[in-house]
Amino acid sequence: MIYEYMGIKPKIEKDVFVADSADVIGKVEIDSGSSIWFNVTIRGDVGYARIGKNTSIQDNSCIHMTNEFDAVVGNNVTVGHSATIHGCTIGDNTLVGMGATILDNAKIGKNSIVAGGAVVLEGAVFEDNSLIAGVPAKVRRKVSNEEAEYLVKHAQKYVDYAKGYIENPIKDITDEYNLKK
């Protein structure tokens, strides 16, 4: 669902896929080619959330912020399932692994990988081309040129998946199964 909050409506480009079970609320901007998957929450109630071009926010992820720090996700970013993005900045061409948490005022440079389950602490700053892992998250090594190229290709896969959902909308067929209630 897409919600107006306190008179502010999200700005979403026409070619963006937003799953029916996702919630996009208030001061949120989603750029062209992006996808917001099932059970995602993007809450622009106390600040601003921006999702760049060709970016996928995958199932069960949450994006929020504080009144001090907005949530800004760059272009060609993949945010894996069940990630928490809170009041931080994520650079272009970055992969945030499943279950990762990035906290307030953290900055992830472009062409980076945040490993699944990593916890990026408040105010942490990581340079471009960083592979970040652990609790608390630390740089483990530099992302290679080949890996950086793959990050853009991976983001494009989700642009294509989203086009499939837009062109072939899913249909609720629950009643066909006669399940007990």
* Helix/strand/coil (H/E/C) assignment for every residue in the chain: CEECECCECCEECCCCEECCCCEEEEEEEECCCCEECCCCEEEEEEEEEEECCCCEECCCCEEECCCCCCEEECCCCEECCCCEEECCEECCCCEECCCCEECCCCEECCCCEECCCCEECCCCEECCCEEEECCCCEEEEECCHHHHHHHHHHHHHHHHHHHHHHHCCCCCCHHHHCCCC
pLDDT of residue 2: 98
**Is residue 96 within 8 Å of residue 78, measured between CB atoms?**
yes
Domains of the chain, by residue range, sit at: 2-177
Dihedral sign for Cα 152, 63, 52, 34, please: positive
Pairing relationship of beta strands 138-142 and 130-133 according to DSSP bridges: antiparallel
pTM value is 0.96
Residue 178 — very low, low, confident or very high, per pLDDT cuts 50/70/90? Answer: confident
Q: Is 46 exposed, middle or buried (0-12, 13-18, 19+ CB in 10 A)?
A: middle
For residue range 79-135, list pLDDT tens digits in order: 999 999 999 999 999 999 999 999 999 999 999 999 999 999 999 999 999 999 999
What's the token pair of residue 181? 């209630």
**Superfamily grouping for domain 2-177:** Hexapeptide repeat proteins (2.160.10.10)
Identify the CA nearest to 170 among candidates 18, 56, 57.
18
pLDDT above 80 for 181: no
Q: What is the pLDDT of residues 119-167, one digit of tens each?
A: 999 999 999 999 999 999 999 999 999 999 999 999 999 999 999 999 9
Q: Please write the tens of the pLDDT for every residue from 12-36.
A: 999 999 999 999 999 999 999 999 9
List Cβ neighbours of 177 (8 Å cut-off, separation of 6 or more): none
pLDDT value at residue 75: 99
Of 119, 125, 95, nearest to 107 (Cα)?
A: 125
